[in-house]
Structure 1
């Protein structure tokens, strides 16, 4: 009777013993990784010499294609690379510099890109009616206060946040309310 060789999980290096009635496992019982399919690479060393010869032939064909392209006979197809133009690279570089200058760089809730700071808006008494919660002796926000406007350069979603001074004032107010409440 021929002895069946048990496979070894490529992820956790554990020998997988399977029941002959059920058949081979699809997932490793130890680490739960998939044993077959696109996530597993099977490497065979039997045909290594043949593969080296094939790769040399591919290299020769590649050189011939380069020579033809250089002579102008055959232009390579670059349509797949059109979205990586100079303009796109310049845009990415500019966005990186702008993000480096910002105090905060919130993530866009729509597409997860970093948002750019567009500017600040000062809210005055005529634009805002403050509310004083019962638990506090003063309003959460008093006029004038600043709001920082951010926009996403990819999907153009906008978002507003309180300015840094207003954030600090709000934290102090809420901390003071806890200290006064005890």
Structure 2
């Protein structure tokens, strides 16, 4: 029996001698004989823009209306306005390195930056008493951690650490 390793999924493929080698990996269904490399030449931004203007197919890709692509355009407009993308990315990395928690953005899966805390008082939060329980799961003043996505700039809020512990104790006692 002959064995091969798929260049795409790194899985060992053992072929039957009677059937012989196939053209597709049975696990990831990628071509085995057509393993290709894509070469991209980097040049001046002006050359890239000139090429992109003449390329109808590339223009369609950027006009699909995807939220993540809109965010990329915002970051690119920052760079076009004289901003330094490398400085932005290194600043994001520095902030992420200092965070205890690094949640992923629910929209684009990039890491989110901890921007601060928000306090919710009893007047803007009305707790609910779940069925089978005698008191609400959350009550009083709550603190939420506020996170901002560095790529698509969406905002997410999560219970602060002390609020999470209180929530866990409350649910455990009521169960």
TM-score tier, shorter chain, comes to 0.5 to 0.7
CA distance in 1 between counterparts of 2:162 and 2:174 reads 18
Pick closer, same or farther for the CA change 1:160–1:27 going to 2, 3 Å.
Answer: same
Which of structures 1 and 2 has the larger relative contact order (alpha carbons within 8 angstroms, sep 6+)? 2
Question: If the length of structure 2 is used for normalisation, what is the TM-score?
Answer: 0.61
Which runs of 5 or more structure 1 residues have no equivalent in the other structure?
1-5, 41-75
**What SS does the corresponding residue of 1:173 show, helix, strand or coil?**
helix
Shift of 1:93: 1.5
Pick closer, same or farther for the CA change 1:171–1:33 going to 2, 3 Å.
Answer: same
Contact 1:148 1:162 in 2 (8 A): yes
Q: Which residue of 2 aligns with 1:9?
A: 4
CA RMSD of aligned residues (A): 3.6
CA distance in 2 between counterparts of 1:30 and 1:126 reads 56
Q: Name the structure with the higher strand share.
A: 2
Q: Which residue of 2 aligns with 1:122?
A: 119
Per-residue deviation, residues 88-109 of structure 1 (Å, max 9, x unmatched): 2211221111112222111011
Highest CA radius of gyration, 1 or 2? 1
Which runs of 5 or more structure 2 residues have no equivalent in the other structure?
7-11, 49-75
Question: If the length of structure 1 is used for normalisation, what is the TM-score?
Answer: 0.59
Q: Which residue of 2 aligns with 1:38?
A: 35
Pick closer, same or farther for the CA change 1:104–1:24 going to 2, 3 Å.
Answer: closer
